[in-house]
Amino acid sequence: MLCLSPRMASGTQEKQYTPALLSFFIYNPTFGPREGEEEKKILFYHPSEIEKNEKIRNVGLCEAIVQFTRTFCPTKPAKSLHTQKNRQFFFEPEDNFWMVMVVRNPMIEKPNKDGKPPTVEYQEEEILDTVYGAVVRQCYSMYKLFNGTFARAMEAGGVEHLMQKLDKFFYRYLQTLHLQSCDLLDVFGGISFFPLDKMTYLKIQSFVNRVEESLSLIKYTAFLYNDQLIWSGLEQDDMRILYKYLTTSLFPRHSEPELAGRDSPLRPEVAGNLLHYGRFLTGPSKLKDPEAKFRFPKIFVSAEEGHEELHLIVYKAMSAAVCFMIDASVELTREFCEQLDGLVGPQLTLLASDICEQFTVNRRVSGPEKEPQFKFIYFNHMNLAEKSTIHMRKTASVSLTSVHTDLMKILGDINCDFARFEEDEEIIVKAMTDYWVVGKKSDQRELYVILNQKNANLIEVNEEVKRLCATQFNNIFFLD
């Protein structure tokens, strides 16, 4: 992606280029051990039009780097390779299966006088290993969510079957990677939880219990409102990657106007005598259509013995969405979908209206929001809860932040420092732009604060952060 910088140099503009994906490949060094068989190692390569010998050469180089670094630390091979023009990231998700992502470093093109070619400056330090290393791990997690492990595909149909699955999945998935939008939230891979009062939360829990009792086929349920999680019966790591898929892919594709109360511009469905606004986001778009297909996407989640395969039904009414997961061996019929629609639609419509009402009342009580002097990102490693007032919008394709990229880079650097040590600590940075950046790590929780107080000193900044902790996180213990 090309971004034109507003900077001017001698009356002509500099061109600024953001990070871009150069190549992405998956290989297994045990599949072509002999000379002349090197191509057999390559299971997937993007872009596919690259000449065969170059693919073999690139894979061979990565293999050599990994083996070389193993001589220093057998249990921890290389994770990344830094060069002037690009950066390579290595990840071994399963034994002998390697994923490699090559990212072009950001660069600035400066025009020269006298018709000379422009001067290119590569900004090598602008890319953070933690951020893009997390992106590679996400690629594998998303593949595993919809296809299971690489080993499972091998057992089902050998190398050819695995290659077909990799090609089908990554051909589409890599198009959704927008590397210029990646930041600290990708490192956390957290879940945003919707704040609720106890009574409304109990109503939702009661609704989930009633539906699971009435439709005994349902194994797991997850309930979301406004793209934020309220209830989940899945394991944390499974919910984390499913949540990423829902909020960055499925929900944006089916976005609708924000609804207040029970008024809706959408045409309501009628179930018996009850009006409701429920509809399937996966599966049939119209239940009454005689040509409707009752096929749902399948996902793989953790089970006591490996993984279990499930149908994923996502059903939405107004701003509330429910995910129902059913054993993949069960065939889902029109009758079942009609039964689910009739049972869930009216109840979910009423619940969505109640949640909206309660949310509106709470906002009215708390009064109009003033622009605070600070912005923050909070993450809890224990329950994966994250909250950000820095991000105005975060999807797969865009990351709208209310602060400059330089400040986001400082946040990433502080996070890298935290990752090196297990002890709780605090780091305070004075940025060149007169902003103060504070990072606190305490008891599996991390808090990052950006303060716009030009003339503040260290003591005043510390007091401001204490006030923030007291107002925003009054029930969470942070070490001073």
Q: Are 58 and 25 in contact (CB under 8 A)?
A: yes
Distant-in-sequence, close-in-space partners of 180: CB < 8 Å, separation ≥ 6:
1, 3, 18, 19, 20
- DSSP string computed for 368-396: PPP--SEEEEEEETTT-BEEESSEEEE-S
Distant-in-sequence, close-in-space partners of 288: CB < 8 Å, separation ≥ 6:
none
Q: Which of 426, 414, 424, 409 is nearest to 466 (CA)?
A: 426
Per-residue pLDDT of the chain (480 residues; tens, 9 = 90+): 333 334 433 445 788 888 999 999 999 998 877 777 788 899 999 898 989 899 999 999 998 998 888 888 878 888 999 999 999 999 999 999 999 999 999 988 888 877 788 888 888 888 899 999 999 999 999 999 999 999 999 999 899 999 999 999 999 999 888 888 888 899 999 999 998 888 989 999 999 999 999 999 999 999 999 999 999 999 999 999 999 999 988 888 877 433 433 334 444 554 444 567 888 998 887 777 777 788 899 999 988 777 899 999 999 988 899 999 999 999 988 889 889 999 999 999 999 988 988 877 776 665 555 556 788 899 999 999 999 888 876 555 555 667 788 888 899 999 998 888 888 888 888 888 788 888 999 888 899 988 887 777 888 788 888 887 777 776 665 555
In angstroms, the CA 261 to CA 316 distance is 15
Length of the chain: 480
Cα distance from N-terminal residue to C-terminal residue, the chain: 43
Q: Are 226 and 319 in contact (CB under 8 A)?
A: yes
Residue 115 CB neighbours (<10 A): 6
In angstroms, the CA 178 to CA 283 distance is 28
Residue 143: what are its φ and ψ, rounded to 5°?
-60, -45
Q: Are 351 and 207 in contact (CB under 8 A)?
A: yes
